[in-house]
Amino acid sequence: MKFPKGYSLKEIAAIISCEYVGDNNFPVTGMNEIHVVESGDIVFVDHPKYYDKALQSAATIILINKSVDCPDGKALLISDDPFRDFNKLTHFFKPFQFSSVSIAPSAIIGEGTIIQPNTFIGNHVVIGKNCLIHSNVAIYDHTIIGDNVIIHAGTVLGGDAFYYKKRPEGYDQLLSGGRVVIENNVGIGALCTIDKGVTGDTTIGEGTKIDNQVHVGHDTVIGKKCLIASQTGIAGCVIIEDEVTIWGQVGTTSGITIGAKAVILGQTGVTKSVEGGKSYFGTPIEESREKLKQLANIKKIPEILNKIK
């Protein structure tokens, strides 16, 4: 998430009332999660296991809960609770905006687009030309939709990321300040849910078709011309490359990559990254031929035991 203008390190520290290490005027231009940070971004870290990763990342401002040596060319924001203060920054730069009408005045809707009754379109949403948005769709703030997109009834675009920190009193949610981006010629079925990024974009690539009752987690990037069948659940921060086919009731873990033109057969649990151009099945996931051989061999076990007797 990029800020509307550049800020100084001193100004950012004042927003969250924390100490800092670095020049007062050190430039701060945005905030992002570790996997998408760039120079000028703030990244937060609150566990020693990830200190080095954050300090050595592309981020130049590290929001951290311990005084450490500051790497050259970077700055530190020292906080007793980086998770809380990252939320404060999200709230400051992307506060929730109330809307009292079905289509926010700031929304932009392209020529030829049809919006069916009872659909909600939030603040600063952009919808392209010749789209068809069926009834009871909810499109949250800042969502971007391209041309020739079809979205069926009951789908929700832009819900919060399922991202929590466990505390003694319960779970504390990490606020979401990102977006959903739907490219041209995408089809989305009924009752789908696509969460916005925490700080970046959840993206559905051009020409991809998604069946009913599919969930896509925060910051996931789905490539072009993919097919995703019903009741599939895709976790956050997943990369699905172009022309992947995912059949029904597939589930994935977070942070993995599914290679281009891979085929994931129904009811597979994608527990790790997989190469493109191959077919996969089972939990844990394996190439489908190998998995099906294993299942065939399991059926032979009673016969083998009878021969031993």
Low-confidence ranges of the chain (pLDDT < 70): 309
Residue 304: predicted pLDDT:
78
For residue range 82-137, what is the model confidence (pLDDT) as tens digits? Answer: 999 999 999 999 999 999 999 999 999 999 999 999 999 999 999 999 999 999 99
Residue 179: predicted pLDDT:
97
Tokens of 166: 């466990």
Closest CA to 10 of 21, 25, 31: 25
Catalytic residue among 134, 142, 215, 218: 218
Tokens of 45: 């870290």
Residue 47 is a catalytic residue: no
Q: Output phi, psi for 91, to 5 deg.
A: -65, -35
Domain 2-93 belongs to what topology? 3.40.1390
CATH of domain 108-292: 2.160.10.10
Domain boundaries, the chain: 2-93, 108-292
Residue 169: predicted pLDDT:
94
Residue 309: predicted pLDDT:
66
Residue 305: predicted pLDDT:
80
Cβ 178 vs Cβ 1: under 8 Å: yes
Residue 81: predicted pLDDT:
97
